[in-house]
Structure formats: C-alpha cells, structure tokens
Amino acid sequence: MPILVVNVDHVATLRQQRLGIEPDPVTAAHMAELAGARGIIVHLREDRRHIQDRDVSLLRQTLKTRLHLEMAATEEMQGIALAEKPHMVCLVPEKREELTTEGGLVVAGRVDFLQAYVKPFHEIGIASSLFIEADPDQIRAAARVGVTHVELHTGHFADAPDAAERKRQRDAIVAGIGLARTLGLKVNLGHGLNYDNIFDFEAVPGICEFSIGHSIVSRAVLTGFGPAVRDMVDIINRFPG
C-alpha cells in the first residue's frame, strides 16, 4: 500500500515571512506523524527561503518515522546530507527565480555525474531518489544511475487545463510507473497532489509514496495540522496498492 510523506516546507514559508520562530515546521512534522504520516520531507534550498539548516538537524534528531531531504545536486548539499544522514535524499533541479520546483531533473546525459554524486550516500545506507518527468528516456537514465527510487513529477497532471490533457498526463505517469518498476526502481509521486486529484491514482499499483505538501498545509490553516494530515492518510489507506 502507498504511504503518505508530508512536506512541511510551507510551514517554514510562513515562519520566514517574519523571520521569527513560528510556526515551526518541526512541530508540524511531529503533528503529521501523530496523525499518521509515515515520513516527512523537506527541501533545503540554496537560498534558504523556507527550510533552514536547523530544521533539518532537529527533524533528523526527533522524527520517529523517516526524514527525506529534497535538494539540488550541489557540493554544499551533499556535505549537509552526509552529515545529517536523512533516510533518503531526493535530487531536484533548483532555480532561484522559481516559485516552486518546476520541471524534473534532466538525468539523461548526466548519468556519470549523478552516479558519483549518490555513491557516498549509498555507502552509508542512505536511499536516493531523482525527481523526474514521466519520460521513458529519463526513467531509463535514472536506472543507469543506480538510484533506489524515482519520484515522478505529477505537477503537469495537476495543472492540466482540461480533462483530455489531465488524462494524457495521468496515462504518461502510469506508463512511467510501469517502466520504472520493470527497471527495478521504486516509485514515488509528488507535486500538486491534493484531496481531489489523488483519486486518479487510486487503483494504480506500484506506488510507494505520495509526497504532498501544499494542499495539506493549505487545509491545515483552516482545519488544523492533525486533521488535515489524517484526511489524506484516510484517503490513501483506502487505496488498494
């Protein structure tokens, strides 16, 4: 059965609006765990616009489930991840001017670099994931890198302007899940998933994790963090897997 991994970046976004101490993404992460989340994911960006180094350290020390660290494939981030030892690193492309992660990582053509980049993580038992488009070339390249997981980008599906495009994007993701599994990769999905569109993946086998942030934090503002996470856990727990 797939599990829910909650992204708490946008709790930190609100905190950083005032550069203060509240709301604390570490507290939100603990509430998410209590409400049934099976892991927490944070994106430590180069510009530190939301999650701070202190958040990563505290989460690693205090979470009872798993910590996944989303990051750009830079030397600085590699050093931080090797020191903090999250359970998984997820490599994403990062642009300073973007509002959120826009596209998937380009893996084809960078296989040697990425292989060398993830090697030290594997040596100390940290799993690795690449956030990629559901594109067969990128999936095959990810398999050549030797990562344990891929996270297929669901943002284009979520943002589809009409039903036909949404179906086209969903079909590409479902085909991508099948190809990735054939190549021995575990598959996560993330970006733009919410309490409505997640049902499009209800009957799709082979999904390990849903990585969801914005829709949960948005609901939490109105209902509280625990209920918002529990609502999503209840949906995912009804998926056949």
- Binding stretches for ligand PXP (CB under 6 A): 7, 9, 43, 70, 90, 92, 100-101, 131, 151, 190-193, 211-215
10, 68, 70, 156: the catalytic one is 70
Residue tagged 């979470």 (tokens): 63
> Closer CB to ligand PXP, residue 25 or residue 123?
25
Distance CA 191, CA 37 (A): 17
CB of 85 to ligand PXP, least distance (A): 20
Distance CA 17, CA 61 (A): 25
Cβ atoms 21, 54 nearer than 8 A: no
30, 43, 68, 156: the catalytic one is 43
Amino acid identity, position 2: P
> Closer CB to ligand PXP, residue 48 or residue 123?
48
Which two three-digit tokens encode residue 16?
A: 């950083």
CB of 173 to ligand PXP, least distance (A): 13
Give the C-alpha distances (Å, rounded to integers) separating 195 from 33, 44, 112, 200.
18, 25, 39, 11
CB of 57 to ligand PXP, least distance (A): 20
Which two three-digit tokens encode residue 121?
A: 């993580």
* Annotation marks residue 84 as catalytic: no
Cβ atoms 162, 192 nearer than 8 A: no
* Annotation marks residue 70 as catalytic: yes
Cα atoms in the 13 Å half-sphere on the side-chain side of 230 = 8
> Closer CB to ligand PXP, residue 204 or residue 217?
217
Report which secondary-structure segment, H or E, holds 69: strand 67-71
CB of 170 to ligand PXP, least distance (A): 16
* Annotation marks residue 87 as catalytic: no
> Closer CB to ligand PXP, residue 31 or residue 42?
42
Catalytic residues: 43, 70, 191
